[in-house]
Structures are given as C-alpha cells and as structure tokens.
Copies of this chain bind each other. A is one copy, B any other.
Amino acid sequence: MIKYLLKIFLFFTCSCFFSQKTDSIKIRKIYDYNLTSGNCYKNLRSLCKDVGHRLSGSNSAQKAVEWANLIMNKTDLDTVYLQQITVPHWVRGATESVIWEDEKGKAHQLNCSALGGSVGTNGTIKGNVIEINNWNQLESFGEKNITGKIVFFNRPMNPTYISTGMAYGNCVDQRHNGASRAVEYGALAVLVRSMTLKFDKNPHTGSMSYLDSNKRIPAAAISTVDAHNLSQALKNNNVKSLSLQLSCKQLPDTVSYNVIGEIKGSEFPSEIILVGGHLDSWDIGEGAHDDGAGVVQSLQVLETFKRMNISPKRTLRCVMYMNEENGNRGGIHYANNVKKKGEKHLFALESDRGGFTPRGFSIDGTKLQLDYLKTFKKLFEPYQLHLFSKGYSGVDIGPLKNGELCLVGLVPDSQRYFDFHHSKEDVFENVHKRELELGAAAITSIVYLTDKYGLPSSRKLKK
C-alpha cells in the first residue's frame, strides 16, 4: 500500500505539483465561458434542424460529415481531416405495419418501428403470437410451440435500477438477439417491447443482428403501451392473429467518414488526448441526445481551448465517429489505424449518454489511473459532479482499450435518457441548454487537467 501511494506521489512530483487553487480558478473560467458564451446549444440546433437524423449510409449522414468538417474548420483548429471507412447501409423503407386481430375480428394497429438491420417481410407475415419474458421460457416452449409463430419479447426494463443505463443493459439482449434466438425454434418474425421505462406510444428502434445469414426473420419494436395491451389480449385469449409488414432492407456497404480535428500540443504533440461522440444517429427523431449532445460537447472542448487561449501541452483530438449505432465501424477503424500508425493516446473520453446534467465520470483504466483521477474530485464538487468510479466508457472509444490508455465516459443524469433514446422524441427541443453546457464544461475541465498534469500509465510506473 505504501509503495502504491508512493507511486502516485512520485507521479505528482514528476508531472508538476497539483495546484488546487490555480486549477479551481481555471475550471471556474471554463464553466463561466461555457454557461455564457459556448456554442454547443447553437451547434446542436443546427445539427438537429439543418441536418436532422443521420443513419450510416444515408444522404443526411454525408451531410453530417460535411457539417462537422465545416464547424471544425470554423473553429480554426490546427488540423481537420476525414478518415474514410465503409459502413453498413440499412434503409427503413416506407411500410411499417403491425396489426393484430381480436377474436371478434377487430383490427388493432400497433405503433412499431423496424429494428435496424432487420430484413423486410417481403409482403405480409401473418401468424399467431407467443409472448416470451425470458430466455428460459423460450427454451422451454421450444420448437413445437414456437414454429410458425411470431415471437413477442415483452420483458420490461427493470424500474428499480437507479441507473437506467443498467436497466437497459439488462434488457437489450432481447432486442439485439431476439430474432437470431427465436429463428432457431422456427419463429416467423419477432416483436420486441421498446427499450424504455416510459409507458407511452412511441416505438424505440435500435440495432439487432443475425448469427446466420440463412436464418433471417424480421424484427420490430412496439411501444410499451402497445406491448402492455397485446400482452393483456394474449392473457385473455383474444389475439386471433397478427400481421406484420416491413419494407426495410440492407443495401450494399457504402463509404463514409470519421471527422477529426486537432489542436497540436505545445510540449508533447505526439501524446494524444481524445474527446468524442458519434455523428450518426438512428433514422427517427433527430439524434439530439444520442449523440448530437456528445458531438457538440466534444467540439466545445476544443472551441473552449481556442477561445480561452489555452494552449494544450498535448495534442487534443476531437473525433466525430461514424456508425456507432449499427456496426461501430468508425470506432473499430479508428482504433486499428492508431495501432497501425503507433500513435500514442493518453486519455480518451466519450460523451454518449445524453445531454443531461452531468453527474461524473465512469473510468475504464488502471487502478492507478482511477485513483489519480479521483484526486481531481474535489475540483468538481462545486459543479456537483460526484461520480468518479470504475466503469464502462463508450462504444466508439472502446476498441482503443489496450490496458494502458485511460478510457472515460461522461455520466449524465440517466433518468430521462430512455424516454427519448432511438425514438421520434429524441429531438433538439428535448435537450436542456444549461444541462448540455454543464456537460461540455465538465469534459473540458477534465481534459484541461489531464493535459496539464498528464496521466500515469501502468508501463511508465513499472519502470
């Protein structure tokens, strides 16, 4: 233990003494700038309204690339460039319909949304419905009960989790794997209860995948209200049949880009501090929280450094990733490229959990890095950021993980996120200006401190 504390102490002395007072003054200025003069709210309006939703491969995704490139150039960064990748190109199509017929022959139309990656129905799929609430149930029903039916996965997100992200994580397997599991038992198609804790009529889309290219059945989300009603009708033996029509399809992969901008470090230009979010979104709503917020907050970090004339010691790189939602091709390509080029990343931070009041940081690094970042905690308390804990960072930066680099996720308040997530409600109007700005100020501040003091890497300290 003493040895360990000595390591941290030595790191402090090596990298220059931690000046609590100067830092608290600088952080106060970063917050003041963001809360009075920052551009992230204005930029978010533009991304949502001028570009709109932007699924990988779509025209609007290309427009988003141009938008990000333009904004970065306007911010007067040292370098702005595009990193070419190939992305999946899935399109929703015009037809989306789920209708069940009751025993009296009355038709009930459900609010539905094809899951991203789903095949279409190629006409109408009609069948009986079987409700499944856990994987064991699927298994025990087995082929004899499931073959020729439409499987309805209706396990709700658990409302007792305090972090709604945790509730999502424990539920999204049915959306992602439902079709590939159900097809093994001969299902015709899959309906999934929307991933939200809200009881309303909005369907929430999201990614799904197939294991076997020969066994692909369509899958769609239905709203929680519809899921509830359908489940009730099934309990009452009042569902005669259900018909599903989806015209979505997968087109050939296409070209897209990560958009990257940098401020070159004055002392250690080869050490990179990355901050980012993803430019793509689902194709309903405007991708305002997911992840317009992360995009404009990340841009704001570099803008704040420029406008406040803070010259970073290390190179600050803002990465607007493409294709987080349905493939993570941007994140994977970026990480491969880093490896190929032998670039040295010190710290990577992602904002991709909505533009809500920031609560802290989720840190995926060594114990030493975690303990070191916790020494900053006091500086963030006046801004009501309290979470500095070990945890997941983000999908885009995930592939960079190498045991040395410190990955960090911004953690905003999670209560409202899944009200909007992947639905038509994820629009600019549902993002709160101050909450968004507080997030931008929080990540700018931690980037400022990390740039100023560096960060212990396990290798360095093993020497």
Counting CB contacts under 8 A, is A252 at the interface? no
| B35:A357 contact, CB within 8 angstroms | no
Task: Name A163's closest neighbour in chain B (CB-CB).
Answer: B384
Q: Is the CB of A162 within 8 A of B415?
A: no
For A160, the chain B residues whose CB sits under 8 A away are 31-32, 35-36
Task: Judge whether A376 is part of the interface by a CB distance below 8 angstroms.
Answer: no
A159 touches B35 (CB 8 A): yes
Give the interface size bracket for A toward B. 20 to 34
Cβ-closest chain B residue relative to A419: B432
Complex contacts, A12 vs chain B, CB 8 Å: none
A383–B419 Cα gap in the complex (Å)? 20
A432 touches B413 (CB 8 A): no
A402 → B minimal CB distance (Å): 31
- A387 part of interface (Cβ distance < 8 Å): yes
Cβ of A386 within 8 Å of any chain B Cβ, yes or no, is yes
Q: Flag whether A435 is at the interface (Cβ < 8 A).
A: yes
CB distance from A369 to the nearest CB of B (A): 22
Interface string of A375-404 (1 = CB under 8 A from B): 000000011101100000000000000000
Residues of B near A433 (CB, < 8 A) are 198
Instruction: Report the separation of the CA atoms of residues A124 and B53 in the bound assembly, to the nearest whole angstrom.
Output: 51
- The contact of A415 among B164, B382, B386, B435, by CB within 8 Å, is B435
* A434 in complex: contacting residue of B383, B387, B415, CB < 8 Å: B415
A359 to B360, CA, bound (A): 13
Taking the complex as formed, is A438 at the interface, i.e. its CB lies under 8 A from any CB of chain B?
yes
Task: Quickly give the copy total for this chain.
Answer: 2
Q: Does A416 contact B (CB under 8 A)?
A: yes
Cβ contact within 8 Å between A415 and B387: no
Residues of chain B within 8 A (CB-CB) of A35 are 159-160
Contacts of A32 in B (CB 8 A): 160
Q: List, in ascending order, chain B residues with CB within 8 A of A359's CB.
A: 384
Cα distance, A419 to B429, chains bound together (Å): 13
A383 near B36 with CB under 8 A, answer no
Tell whether A162 pairs with B383 under 8 Å between CB atoms, given A197-B434, A434-B197: yes
User: With a CB–CB cut-off of 8 A, which chain B residues contact A36?
Assistant: 159-160
Once the chains bind, are A384 and B387 in contact (CB under 8 Å)? yes
A162 pairs with B432, CB closer than 8 A: no
Shortest CB-to-CB span from A414 to chain B, Å, is 9
- A398 CB to closest chain B CB, in angstroms? 24
Chain B residues in 8 Å Cβ range of A31: 160, 162
Which parts of A156-205 form the interface with B (CB within 8 Å)? 159-160, 162-164, 197-198
A416, B432: Cβ atoms closer than 8 Å:
yes
CB pair B159 A357 closer than 8 Å: no
A428 CB to nearest B CB, Å: 15
In the complex, chain A residues 403-442 whose Cβ is within 8 Å of any chain B Cβ: 413, 415-416, 419, 432-435, 438
Q: Which residues of B contact A383 (CB under 8 A)?
A: 162
Which of chain B's residues have a CB closer than 8 A to the CB of A435? 415-416
Q: Using CB atoms, name the residue of chain B closest to A34.
A: B160
Q: How far is the CA of A138 from the CA of B434 in the complex (A)?
A: 31
Q: Can you show 28 pairs from A to B with CB atoms below 8 A apart?
A: A31-B160, A31-B162, A32-B160, A35-B159, A35-B160, A36-B159, A36-B160, A159-B434, A162-B382, A162-B383, A162-B384, A162-B438, A163-B384, A164-B434, A197-B434, A357-B357, A359-B384, A384-B386, A384-B387, A386-B386, A413-B413, A415-B432, A415-B434, A415-B435, A415-B438, A416-B432, A416-B435, A419-B432
- If A36-B159, A162-B384, A162-B438 are given as contacts, then 12 extra A-B residue pairs at C-beta distance below 8 Å, sorted by A number, are A31-B160, A35-B159, A35-B160, A36-B160, A162-B383, A163-B384, A359-B384, A384-B387, A413-B413, A415-B438, A416-B432, A419-B432
